[in-house]
A and B are shown apart, each in its own frame.
Chain A
Amino acid sequence: MEKLSSIGQLEWFRNKILSRKQEGIIEVHVCMTGCRAYGAAGIFEALTDEVKSQGLSKQVEIRATGCHGFCAKAPVIAIEPMGVQYQEVEPNDAGDIVVKTLKQNQLIDRLAYRAPKTFQPVFYRNQIPFYAKQERRVLANCGRIDPTNIEHYIAAGGYQALVKALSKMAPEQVIDEVQAAKLRGRGGAGFPTALKWKFARLAEGRPKYIVCNADEGDPGAFMDRAILEGDPHAVVEGMLLGAYAMGSEYGFIYVREEYPIAIEHLNIAIEQANELGLLGENILGTGFNLDLSLRLGAGAFVCGEETALMASIEGQRGMPRARPPFPAKAGIDGKPTNINNVETWANVPLIVKNGAGWYGEVGTEDSKGTKIFSLAGKVNNTGLVEVPIGATVKEVIFDIGGGIPKGRQFKAVQMGGPAGGCVPAQFLNLSIDYDTVQRIGAIMGSGGMVVMDENNCMVEIARFFLSFTQSESCGKCAPCRLGTTQLLEILTRITRGEGRMEDIDTIRDLGETLSEASLCGLGQACPKPALSTLKYFLKEYEDHIKEHRCAGAVCDSMVISACQHACPAGIDVPNYVAAIAEGEYEKSVEIIRERNPFPAVCGRICIHPCEYKCRRGELDQPVAIRALKRVASDWYFENIGPQRDPFPITREEKVAIVGAGPAGLTCAYFLAKMGFKTTVFEAQSVAGGMLGIAVPEFRLPRQVIEEEIQYIENCGVEIRYNSPIDAKHTFNDLLKEGYSAVFIAAGAQASKHIGIPGEDEDLQGIYYGLDFLSNIRMGQEVPLSGKTVVIGGGNVAFDVARTALRSGAHDVQIFCLEPRDEMPAWEKDVEEAIDEGIVINPEASPSNITQKDGRVTGIEFTHCVCVFDDEGCFNPTCDLEDSRLVEADNIIISIGQAADMSFLSADSQLERELWGALVVNTNTLATNVPGVFAGGDFTTGPTFVIRAISSGRRAAIAINKHLTGDDSPVYIPDEKSVRHTTTKLALEEESTEDKPRIEAEFEDAKERVTDFREVEKGFTEAEACREATRCLRCDLEKEENGI
């Protein structure tokens, strides 16, 4: 390459490159950076060979580029100008790609992106949702140009900004332009870049240095790496502009040695720019000089801090020093120095070239432009994402990131690495900006976003970050050196189950000291991960300390196997699954009943938290635990039946239980097992609570509940039907009648009202969800006809809609506030409902019910824009302009239930919360009246049956403790049932044969809606055996390792 000696020669050179570019050439862009770990080099070679052997070398260019961003589907290639993107390409696909796509213009199905849900192939990049919502400005060249060839960068308009600055702008004007663009430091702190530049420009002293901070150390951040690898000249050009603006002659790029490809590409870029005369002395003949060189980091995180980085460049230990003086005044070698992050530098050419006006078209008032985020962790589309500043967390994680894999729940996103915090689910609508993120205790940081789902433990995450900062603390200042060690010790203790309640305050105190007294950002910010998890996940800390429970089921000391720990009742899942594999169904049911007296009910309607934590799910799909439980319990009732001998009564005290729902009956069952005489008072003529009156027949047949209740009665539990506890017969009377303890589990059975105009209970055609379900379940005729509108997005709403369909309604539509993917109903029910022809209308807020002659005629909805506000509180925002009237013959309102407290007399001594619920001790479920306990839905509001069961067992243990005078807290650790020895489970299997999960079959949707038959069919015994052997027996692994 010949040296360019004037500005005009660069333009001349650019024209020459462009003219060489022939029309009609097809370019295949193979990512040779990130995708290299997936064998992109092999693909590149195979494609090149294939093109040669097909004689297409003149028409096709195979180009090694930087990252395409969509790393989840690596290796990725793009074909231009067609705009086609192929993913998960392998070297032996080269033949098809060249022959079919390049030669014959045919698209290849198997290499295309698949749309979620429909699984239709999407061939064109701009149609893939991952790209559609992005604004790729800084990353525009990344994945398009060959980063090792300066001609590509120049052809793409590179160094035009430099030409513009050198020929038309005074240095001050460059700073003014950057100021007008409101560019803020992309490294995390968000300091206005132009201001920093001004200080450096005005500072006295020569030479002046500029530095590119490419010591991207935040775990979870990789955007700088992608820019350096995929478009290194953008950084070089940005630094040239900065050097021109500040009057600097020396520049350093401080890059971490863990990035070998970035180092290689930077070296090439600097060399080529020097050769062309774009770096070095007398650049483009203008007399402007810049000597740019690389410095490699040597593996110290703290060197990302600017004063430490400068010390490292000077060849010293990379330890920070106090500021002021700031680097702009006294930096490297005591001379004025300006340090910016990679992404900040890469933004500068865009601003200078296109002007601040263009730049500011996207972004928020205070922060313009775009930000690159590296999306990683528990998210479908991991990769690099560039969005306008101000995009919401939800857009980034769900619209672009494609949501959480395996149907799990989003828990939080960690932003800003060890110096940042987590953004929990309630802030999904938060727009990402330096200031908003800071306000909720995290930082935008350099752009790392690590997504966490329900299987991550927030205490453990905090411990993880502290162990990182503790080991990276340079040790210069005492607060950081000692404080990080202390914090780490405390957090480790909590995750080991040895925490104390006062630890929580100590973390807060220590955190405050650290942030005020530490010398540099590392120490000042390091308590943030702990403080922000404490702020949003305090309960997880308390559960670890008090209950030895880990919500993510990851803390070794408290977890035997994740499935068991995830089960609110703590059933020894692997053990009963093993029994099923052996065909020992009776044994299996016995194991379940150690914690849960409702195996057949839970085998049908349990929401199975166990399956979401199943380790097999990491491999392929989780074991179908719920369906297995059903097989065993169905076999049990068919072959053994509910009969059994009652538990012997060995205790003197009698216990009364109010309400024969799952919580009450579970409590009664375990108390009977402990030897107490227990009596259950039930207001209705049937037992089962919600199971008996609300869950529809097609999900839970009557006979199943009856058999389970019969079994519990046979254990010695007495149920008194039609015996309400009310003003005539109060719980005080029960105590007087000789019951030593009372457990109130009266459920939550009062339907909530919406409170909108026209909502009149006496109106014909208005029903409330729970009443409607129970009337049908009790055999009353509720003849529906015509159009039925169901309001609500929860499980009851779906039961109501499906029951309505089976009760004569011709057409049933559900309207709910939430968007489709945020509805609280269980996904399985939603899918079954859709199969049955029920239409779901999300984002609809009811506003007015219309009537004529005492009959419902319709209902008006407004568009619900957002259910939760910025603070994460339930506070729907609706667009009142956007409304619609829906004709309806029936309206069934199912927006939730609450406990009906009316049976408690007004002068009851029971203490209530402000909003009316009973005050209970969460550990013992004791109320303020000695001997009176309360639990289940009654105290928590409506939840799932397995939680009610767990609450019932907890009450039984607490009551036993109370009656024996033991006032220690209730402690329910995971325990192994008697070990089931012989096993032929996956752990022992040598073969790696694929063994996908067996899915239960369903009755045909068209047929099943004609009556109330059970929708889901159970497994056959052969299926059950096969499915049960998929279990990996994590519990045994634990015993072997002796952890």
Chain B
Amino acid sequence: MQPPEIDLTKLDAIIDRHKIGKWELIPLLQDVQETFGYVPPETIEPIAEALNLFPAQVQGVITFYSGFSLKPKGKYVCRVCRGTACHVKGSRSILRLMKHELGLEEGETSPDYQFTLETVACLGACFLAPTMMINRDYFGKLSPTKMTSVLGEYRKKESE
């Protein structure tokens, strides 16, 4: 399946917003990522040009930070927390089960671009351990049953 179409015309507006300020590369890329769900490789050159940088510099920043992705992600990005508190409380099994349920490895996106599975160093929600985040929502004190039911909710939402 093809990734969802993106409207590259939005890029100009984003660039305009950040062209004037100082040190705007990262905020600009964050805007791009937010708008398109990832940083489309074809945006690198226009961004570099606008900020008076080499494309390699832009590329270097994109690949350095785990917050940026050059590949499109799924509609629902599931981030399983692998922080200490979650680890101590068994997040390894949660991740194992997520991989099994979604049929994805870490960093992979499902062919229909519905789900992306990621791990994150710490969500700072250690009191809820083990936790995960789907897009901007937190889910805590996960057990295998709870995890499957959360996923089920998202799947249901999709099929409706």
Contacts and interface: CB of A to CB of B under 8 A. Distances in A.
Interface string A338-375: 00000000000000000000000000000000000011
Interface string A522-566: 000000000000000000000000000000000000000000000
B37 interface: no
B127 A317 contact: no
A299 B66 contact: yes
5 contacts: A72-B127, A219-B83, A296-B27, A298-B65, A376-B84
Contact of A37 (B60, B64, B139, B143): B139
Given A219-B83, A258-B120, A299-B67, 10 more contacts: A34-B127, A36-B138, A260-B136, A295-B26, A296-B26, A300-B65, A317-B61, A417-B84, A474-B64, A992-B145
Given A38-B140, A317-B61, A317-B64, A301 B127 contact: no
Contacts of B125: 34, 37, 222
Residue in A38, A295, A298, A314 whose Cβ sees the most chain B Cβ within 10 Å? A298
Interface string B56-100: 010011001111100000000000001111111110000000000
Interface in B106-122: 120-122
Nearest to B126: A376
Nearest to B127: A71
Contacts of A451: 88
A257 B136 contact: no
Nearest to A474: B64
Contacts of B29: 298
Contacts of A472: 121
Interface string A382-393: 110000000000
A1026 B66 CA distance: 50
B84 A219 contact: yes
A660 B61 CA distance: 72
A465 B87 CA distance: 10
B12 interface: no
Nearest to B79: A258
A994 interface: no
Contact of B131 (A37, A315, A319): A37
Nearest to B119: A471
Interface in A448-502: 448, 450-452, 456, 461, 464-465, 468, 472, 474
Interface in B27-65: 27, 29-30, 57, 60-61, 64-65
Contact of B128 (A37, A461, A464): A37
Contacts of A74: 127-128
A221 interface: yes
A715 B126 CA distance: 55
Given A314-B23, A318-B64, A37 B84 contact: no
A298 B68 contact: yes
- Interface size of B as a range: 35 or more
A298 B26 contact: yes
Contacts of A383: 127
A369 B123 CA distance: 28
A319 B65 CA distance: 11
Contacts of A374: 126-127
A619 interface: yes
B84 A298 contact: no
Interface of A: 34, 36-38, 71-72, 74, 216-222, 225, 257-260, 295-301, 312-319, 374-378, 382-383, 414, 417, 448, 450-452, 456, 461, 464-465, 468, 472, 474, 618-619, 992
B65 A382 contact: no
A992 B84 CA distance: 30
A992 B144 CA distance: 12
A756 B123 CA distance: 56
Contacts, number: 140
B126 A382 contact: yes
Contacts of B138: 36-37
Nearest 7 A-B pairs (CB), nearest first? A71-B127, A219-B83, A376-B126, A298-B65, A299-B67, A376-B85, A298-B67
Contact of B84 (A72, A220, A375): A220
Given A37-B131, A317-B64, A218 B122 contact: yes
B127 A257 contact: no
B124 interface: yes
A452 B85 CA distance: 9
B25 interface: yes
Contact of B129 (A377, A452, A618): A377
B14 to A, nearest CB: 15
A316 B56 CA distance: 12
B52 to A, nearest CB: 12
A382 B127 contact: yes
A619 B143 contact: yes
Contact of B121 (A219, A314, A450): A219
B24 interface: yes
A382 B129 CA distance: 10
B67 A378 contact: no
A891 to B, nearest CB: 45
B62 to A, nearest CB: 9
Nearest to A301: B121
A459 to B, nearest CB: 13
Nearest to B137: A37
B65 A377 contact: no
Given A219-B83, A298-B65, A259 B124 contact: yes
Contacts of A258: 120, 122-124, 133
A155 B129 CA distance: 35
A349 to B, nearest CB: 23
A885 B29 CA distance: 76
A295 B27 contact: yes
Nearest to B51: A315
Given A316-B61, A374-B126, A450-B126, A464 B121 contact: no
B122 A217 contact: yes
Nearest to B64: A317
A699 to B, nearest CB: 35
B140 A37 contact: yes
Given A298-B65, A299-B67, A619-B143, A378 B128 contact: no
Contact of B90 (A221, A618, A992): A618
B84 A317 contact: no
Nearest to B66: A299
B54 to A, nearest CB: 12
Nearest to B23: A315
Given A260-B136, A377-B89, A377-B129, A464 B84 contact: yes
Contacts of A452: 88
A337 to B, nearest CB: 13
Contacts of B139: 37
A315 B127 contact: no
A618 B25 CA distance: 47
Contacts of A468: 82, 121
A258 B121 CA distance: 10
Contacts of B26: 295-296, 298, 312, 315
Given A299-B67, A377-B84, A221 B122 contact: yes
A81 B153 CA distance: 40
Contacts of B127: 34, 71-72, 74, 222, 374-376, 382-383
A222 B25 contact: no
Contact of A448 (B30, B82, B84): B84
Given A257-B30, A619-B143, A377 B124 contact: no
Q: Taking each of B25, B64, B90, which has the highest tally of chain A beta carbons within 10 Å of its own beta carbon?
A: B64
Nearest to A374: B126
A318 B83 contact: no
B23, B127, B136, most chain A CB atoms within 10 A: B127
A222 B126 contact: yes
Given A377-B85, A378-B89, A450-B88, A318 B122 contact: no
Which of B23, B30, B61, B133 gathers the greatest number of chain A CB atoms within 10 Å? B23
A464 B83 CA distance: 9
A316 B120 CA distance: 22
Contacts of B88: 376-378, 450-452, 456, 461
A414 B137 CA distance: 28
